[in-house]
Amino acid sequence: GQAQIGVTGLAVMGRNLARNLARHGHVVAVHNRTAARTRQLVEEFGHEGEFVPAESAADFVASLRRPRRLVIMVKAGAATDAVIEEFAPLLESGDVIVDGGNAHFEDTRRREAALRERGLHFVGCGISGGEEGALNGPSIMPGGSAESYRSLGPLLESIAARVDGEPCCTHIGPDGAGHFVKMVHNGIEYADMQLIAEAYDLLRRVAGYEPGRIAEVFRTWNRGRLDSYLIEITAEVLGHTDAATGRPFVDVVADAAEQKGTGRWTVQTALDLGVPVSGIAEAVFARSLSGHGALREAAQQLPGPVRPELHPDDAAQFADQVEAALYASKIVAYAQGWHQITAGSAEYGWDIDPGAVAAIWRGGCIIRARFLDEIRAAYAGGKPPVTLLTDPTFREALERAQNAWRHVVATAAQLGVPAPGFSAALAYYDALRAERLPAALVQGQRDYFGAHTYRRTDREGSFHTLWGQDRSEVEA
Ligand code: NBP
């Protein structure tokens, strides 16, 4: 075989990834369960590079140079297992199977272990950037063995997005590390989108701005520290007018946000790891709430506060305060995401470099932003910060933002505008800062009804108070 790499599964993602590889001068074997898609790819895009179409699995495998590198881009779940089972028996020791789909990292761990037994490398590879990214340069998060990366890495790096000449692709760590990090990327994406949506809602309902004006505000923000792909596209969406009605596009879209599940996975995994990712969780819940039509309908009758209009001068100042609240909340959401990455890395022994993750998210992916340079820098020193919040750069930003942040959250509460992302971020910030938490009382309650015991601040050991008797304290 002469193909350097093969792609099986030629729907939007696989087709674009194969074209990206071919455009970079690699000979690409292409295969799809339904052969019509393979033929269509070669007909439409064959001029872009060198494709080797195969209709059968055997021909596909035979067309690959050894050690074979085979990328699976099919629907995540059972289809991925089916495709692995189809190809694994045809492969030989040292060959590399890459799953570029959105697999759950636990599935990736299972598949990696099973294929390792059979002498095959299995690389769970997160790919972010949607169809556009797959074609023009995604952010790529490969897991799997270091050995597999030696063979695969240069190919993947050649098609990844580039920032300052560096490819947005790095070996994340063993087995499921790549898919885990991709999952957290998507969780952070949910949080970021929710925070931006809350900023829009406040500018609209408190400052009284129309969508077109808010688009302008976001364009201004995008020239500053909030510079990011998500702010950029938000301005585009808000500036768009519906052709059919002439109304702002955002006003004709049903206000029920859907989800494919990676945000939910992030939160479920965070719960298992015991990591408080409240910003991501609020974002997932906010989408969920928006879809509960009957519940929202029933609640229409509930009273809210009288909402006074802001004076136009105050509105401009309020917009600046919303920018500060958004930036501070964003720092918190990302700090939580990085906490989850480091916790996952410790739990599974992945040894993930948190700064390298920030570096490869600077381009190609949905959360790409100038901000990620700061996160990378925070981890570049000798001793990594316990939390991103205490990195000097972020600490200073939080200090400067905090009055505005508090004002925005308080205003939202007083005026009855929901801001779960902003509020949860501020609560997390204040809870971490607090010298004493009411957790002491919770532990007392637990000891009262369940004899769950407590530790004391002044002595070692576990204690229990005999609540039902004379309330004397015993050592447990
Ligand atoms: P889809 O997720 O829509 O999957 C369609 C592909 O899966 C087709 O090639 C189809 O073959 C193949 N397939 C299925 Br379905 N069942 C199969 C089976 N049992 N055996 C063999 N092939 C099977 O494609 P996509 O939207 O291109 O996404 C591919 C992967 O990339 C997914 O895991 C997705 O989550 C992930 N991803 C997508 C995006 C995005 O923006 N769309 C972004 C990042 C990651 P057929 O042609 O014969 O039906």
Q: Which residue, judged by its Cα, is nearest atom 9 of ligand 1?
A: 9
User: Does the pLDDT value for residue 393 go beyond 80?
Assistant: yes
pLDDT at 148: 97
How confident is the model over 21-44, as a mean pLDDT? 98
Binding site membership of 101 for ligand 1 (Cβ less than 6 Å): yes
Active site amino acids? 182, 189
Q: Which residue, judged by its Cα, is nearest atom 43 of ligand 1?
A: 130
pLDDT at 358: 98
13 CA distance to ligand 1 middle (Å):
7
100 CA distance to ligand 1 middle (Å):
10
465 CA distance to ligand 1 middle (Å):
59
Render pLDDT for 285-301 as a digit per residue (tens, 0 to 9): 999 999 999 999 999 99
Render pLDDT for 447-459 as a digit per residue (tens, 0 to 9): 999 999 999 999 9
Cis amide leading into 67 (omega within 30): yes
Contact by Cβ (8 Å): 33, 56: no
Binding site membership of 126 for ligand 1 (Cβ less than 6 Å): no
Task: Provide ipTM, 2 decimals.
Answer: 0.97
Q: Which residue, judged by its Cα, is nearest atom 17 of ligand 1?
A: 79
Binding site membership of 74 for ligand 1 (Cβ less than 6 Å): yes
Contact by Cβ (8 Å): 123, 97: yes
Binding site membership of 186 for ligand 1 (Cβ less than 6 Å): no
188 CA distance to ligand 1 middle (Å):
24
pLDDT at 310: 73
Q: Tokens representing 49?
A: 């590079």
pLDDT at 128: 96
Taking the alpha carbons of 190, 195, 200, 205 in that order, is the dihedral positive or negative?
Answer: positive
Binding site membership of 377 for ligand 1 (Cβ less than 6 Å): no
The whole-model pTM stands at: 0.97
User: If 0-12 CB within 10 Å is exposed, 13-18 middle and 19+ buried, where does residue 435 land?
Assistant: exposed
Burial 368-398 (b: 16+ CB within 10 A, else e): bbebbebbbebbeeeebbebbbebeebeebb
Q: How far is CA 214 from CA 162, 217, 218, 236, in A?
A: 31, 5, 6, 10
Confidence of residue 308 (pLDDT cuts 50, 70, 90): low
Cα(227)–Cα(222) distance, rounded to whole angstroms? 4
Of 171, 179, 167, 177, give the one whose Cα is nearest residue 150: 171
Taking the alpha carbons of 312, 314, 320, 326 in that order, is the dihedral positive or negative?
Answer: negative
pLDDT at 441: 98
User: If 0-12 CB within 10 Å is exposed, 13-18 middle and 19+ buried, where does residue 278 land?
Assistant: buried
Contact by Cβ (8 Å): 182, 32: no
Percent of the chain having pLDDT more than 70? 99
